[in-house]
Amino acid sequence: MVAAETKICDIDGENGKLIYRGYEIGELTKNYSFEEVAYLLWYGEIGEKHQLQQFNKDWKEYLDLTDTTKTIIDSLPPNMDLMGVIRTTISSLGTIEFNWKPSISQAMYLTAIVPSIIAYHTRRKKGLDYIPPNDCYGHVENFLYMLNGNVPDPAHVSALETYMILTMEHGMNASTFSARVTASTESDIVSAITSAIGTMKGPLHGGAPSGVIDLLNETAKLENIVEYIRTKILNGEKLMGFGHRVYKTHDPRAMALKEKLTKFVGKDEWLDLAMEVEQICIDQLNELKPGRSLYTNVEYYAAAIMKAIDFPPEMFTPTFTASRMVGWTAHVLEQAENNTIYRPQSIYVGK
């Protein structure tokens, strides 16, 4: 059943295409920054130079945390996981200024602040001081800087920015649907995004690609990677990071990530290993499982990037959330343009 008409995103699984507002995803990752693609999803067009200058200026005003927000994070239970921290902190922002209808400035604020929430909580758990954002850095670069306090490696920034653009939006998935359902009641955008984050928290939707990380960890120790991969396939074991339930051919997100990463061959051992293992897996799958069309999916290279930038597995879903904030808020804005409350039917099967 069709849940909504949208101008935001189109997924062509048969032909391996992902399109944001009429632009193929590979074109966007090659030519535009995270902020510029966010502008496209929110406004429906690529911004002019003067528009983007003001947009970036406004964005940077939203990056830092208020003392109130820091106090809220400080008061959360110590055993709350990072996704719970993001969900609860975002929910706490829902003051009367966020009443219906939602605005792009609200979408920008909620998107800009998530990396700061992640960085603040992560450093606090390690007993480290909060590092405020640097005005000289873009959104993704600031994310890495606030986490580590070091000048971010350009290869890592480029790889992570590409990944975050690729995962900004992906049609009517579970979390996006949750956001639109909440928005359809004319609730505020904070409530809609809180619904989406709660949905993303479930391991069937936003789970970390721990299997891919395990694969890379194992192959890093081996002299004969080909024999290891071949044995796994012959034993009927699943190769994590290969195959996708939507894309019946190459996952365009994985292809865009790989294209970006080829520019950094020899500059990071984990990215180099990931590219070597991918080719071995593809060769062996083609030989041992011909006709199955098992191509690399976005999770494979996402795991490689997380490993390269030293993100632990528990950082994967929060990072995914930080990028998908753009898509969720774009859908909330679109829902508000011509709103009708969702009222699905159910079939009674009780006594």
Residue 83 belongs to a domain with what CATH number?
A: 1.10.580.10
Contact assessment for residue 256 and residue 23, using Cβ atoms and an 8 Å cutoff: no
Enter the DSSP assignment of 224.
-
How much is the pTM? 0.90
Same domain assignment for residues 120 and 223:
no
Range of the domain at 155: 9-204+327-337
At 241, list the tokens.
Answer: 């990071």
Give the pLDDT of residue 131. Answer: 96
Minimum mean pLDDT among 164-173, 180-189, 274-283: which range?
274-283
- Confidence (pLDDT) at 130: 95
Q: How many domains does the chain have?
A: 2
CATH code (residue 283):
1.10.230.10
Choose, from 121, 139, 156, 244, the residue flagged as catalytic. Answer: 244
Looking at residues 321-341, what average pLDDT do you find? Answer: 96
The reply to whether 57 and 122 lie within a common domain is: yes
Based on the fold, state whether residues 195 and 173 are members of the same structural domain: yes
Per-residue pLDDT, 2 = 81
State residue 221's pLDDT score. Answer: 85
Domain check: are 68 and 163 in the same one?
yes
> Does one domain contain both 194 and 70?
yes
Q: Do 224 and 150 fall within a single domain?
A: no
Higher pLDDT, 274 or 31: 31
Give the pLDDT of residue 248: 65
- To which H or E segment does residue 273 belong? helix 269-288
At 271-307, the pLDDT tens digits run 788 888 888 988 888 888 876 667 788 888 888 888 8
The answer to the question of residue 345 being in a domain is no
Q: How many CB atoms lie within 10 A of CB 130?
A: 15
Which one of 35, 161, 299, 334 is the catalytic residue?
299
DSSP state letters, 109-166 = HHHHHHHHHHHHHHHHHTT----PPPTTS-HHHHHHHHHHSSPPPHHHHHHHHHHHHH
Catalytic annotation present for 156:
no
Rama region for 166: left / alpha / beta (φ>0; ψ in -120 to 50; rest): alpha
In a shared domain, residues 43 and 100:
yes
For residues 215 and 157, membership in a common domain is answered with no
